[in-house]
Structure 1
Amino acid sequence: MPTTTGNRRRFRRFVDVTQIKIDTPAGPIDALLDLPAGAGPWPAIVVVHDAFGYGPDKEATSRRIADAGYLAITPNLYARGGRVRCITRVFRELLSKRGRALDDVLAARDHVLTLPECTGAVGIAGFCMGGQFALVMSPMGFGASAPFYGTPLPRPLEETLAGACPIVASFGRRDPIGKGAADALRKMVQDNGIPADIKEYPDVGHSFANKLPAQPLLRITGFGYHEDVTNDAWRRVFAFFDEHLAATPRA
């Protein structure tokens, strides 16, 4: 059963993530959709997966978000063709800040906005590659952005984040591709008056919030899952989103 604290609802439920089709400018793609238990409407979060795609790890992330009282949608950015070809294209579009991958993320946002279960407030969260998307797209009509180790940071950073929504970012100090990222982002948001919560965790590296294959090897190379840090990062994200995606029912 849901409990209420202020304007936010916290839920525990045991249902499966649903795979759906969403329309995009380049044709339909599949996406994961997860709703909290109980009666909505809820704010929504568009989740952008990492370079590995959106397998079971993303289902667990989607459930975590829905358990916190948010509608979660994860578009499959690799829906068109083989993974290798898609990875190349998606990274190219990420660097250029335009293309089908960005359109797919916006289409996921537009899809949840059509749902009566959504309040009309939508944030974005992403991991690794998806964290870079969350930063690049933070000025593109989202209410808040949560990049997890979105490294390397997009360049030029100040130009890319001009007009950005509030940002809650999480980094690992042992991330071999994220040296100085937290400090650089912190300075940029402070200089430009962007509301933010930026934290660098000292004892973890890249992918600390993703359960990826070959964990022992990943930890040696500066990657790897860390449960306690993951829980703390999500606690900060949900507190930040509670503030900046406050439930405002549709007119």
Structure 2
Amino acid sequence: METVSQVAIQTGQGMMPAYCAVPTTPGPWPGVVVIHDFTGMSHDLRAQADWLANEGFLAVAPDLYYWGSRLKCLRTIMHDIGERRGRTFDDIEGARLWLTNHEGCTGRIGVIGFCMGGGYALALAPGRGFSASSVNYGGCPSDAATWLPEACPIVGSFGGGDKSPLGGRAGQRLDRLLTEFDVPHDVKIYPAVRHGFMNDHDPADATLFLRFLARISGTKYDGEATRDARRRISSFFGQHLRDEAPEDE
């Protein structure tokens, strides 16, 4: 079986391109849907999928910008995340089903996202068929208390130096709510670390608009924090996605 590939996933709106990274260890493996940040399909997104495959997870990273201009897609994304439903959620469900039906997948699926993708990962935690979620600087919406009680286990990573609505304060609130609702979780705030610290983008992937967004959000990659966050995520996913994980989680 090939270790990496470009795939096309059937959705209700057409064929969605995605990047799939396959572990080299004997399968079957748990699956993970990897949801990108504002940059979209990029070197960094493929690297995130490759890292998860190296950890023994079958990873698929869909391109949520496939159907229109970047600005048009972003407008739809912002609306859909606020409503926790819509076209982009249907596309992500297509990716989850693709993994579920993959011959190399155990059928236990996790989701991970970064920035905007972290918002999806949090919104998808309750009642969407995922067994674990990794929320990386994805915020904590004002209505989260109404739906988080039904969430799957969540591992969250936030920057203490991230002053955006997706940053450290959101992480603190998320940790508090998950503790209150007795949802299994591991939320960590990295002191002084800025927004987007896990995304090591190739400058060639960034348009002028995306460079502007990165500048106003204070985005900055941090290797040390990334290594620790990845260690925690891999361990958490291993605990909740492996075959021996309890089925009633």
**TM-score relative to the length of structure 2:** 0.88
SS at match of 1:63: helix
- Mapped contact 1:208–1:225 kept (Cα < 8 A): yes
1:209–1:234 CA distance, 2 compared to 1 (3 A): same
Give 2:198's aligned residue: 209
Give 2:50's aligned residue: 63
Quick one: distance in 2 between partners of 1:30 and 1:218? 25
Q: After TM superposition, give the deviation of residue 122 of structure 1 in Å.
A: 0.4
- Residue 146 in structure 1 maps to residue 134 in structure 2: yes
Equivalent residue for 2:117, pick from 130, 133, 140: 130
Equivalent residue for 2:65, pick from 60, 73, 78: 78
SS at match of 1:50: coil
Give 1:228's aligned residue: 224
- Mapped contact 1:154–1:160 kept (Cα < 8 A): no
C-alpha deviations, 1:170-221, integer Å up to 9, x for none?
A: 0001112125112111110011110000000002111000013489x95896
Give 1:187's aligned residue: 176
Name the amino acid aligned to 1:233: A
SS at match of 2:14: coil
Equivalent residue for 1:156, pick from 139, 143, 147: 143
Give 2:5's aligned residue: 18
* Bigger proportion of residues as helix: 2
Q: After TM superposition, give the deviation of residue 28 of structure 1 in Å.
A: 1.6
Q: Structure 1: which 4+ aligned runs deviate by more than 2 Å?
A: 212-215, 217-222
Q: After TM superposition, give the deviation of residue 75 of structure 1 in Å.
A: 1.0
1:64–1:238 CA distance, 2 compared to 1 (3 A): same
Quick one: distance in 2 between partners of 1:118 and 1:200? 32
Quick one: distance in 2 between partners of 1:133 and 1:39? 30
Quick one: distance in 2 between partners of 1:219 and 1:247? 42
- Residue 101 in structure 1 maps to residue 88 in structure 2: yes
Quick one: distance in 2 between partners of 1:184 and 1:115? 36
Quick one: distance in 2 between partners of 1:62 and 1:138? 19
Structure 1's unaligned 5+ residue stretches are 1-14
Give 1:3's aligned residue: none
Equivalent residue for 1:244, pick from 237, 240, 245: 240
Q: How many residues align?
A: 233
Matches within 5 A, 1:42-57: 42-57=29-44
- Mapped contact 1:136–1:154 kept (Cα < 8 A): no
1:179–1:79 CA distance, 2 compared to 1 (3 A): same
1:157–1:41 CA distance, 2 compared to 1 (3 A): same
- Mapped contact 1:48–1:130 kept (Cα < 8 A): yes
- Mapped contact 1:208–1:223 kept (Cα < 8 A): yes
Name the amino acid aligned to 1:222: G
Structure 2's unaligned 5+ residue stretches are none
The percent identity for this pair of structures is 40
**TM-score relative to the length of structure 1:** 0.88
1:231–1:190 CA distance, 2 compared to 1 (3 A): same
User: Over aligned residue pairs, what C-alpha RMSD do you find?
Assistant: 2.0
Q: After TM superposition, give the deviation of residue 169 of structure 1 in Å.
A: 0.1
1:246–1:60 CA distance, 2 compared to 1 (3 A): same
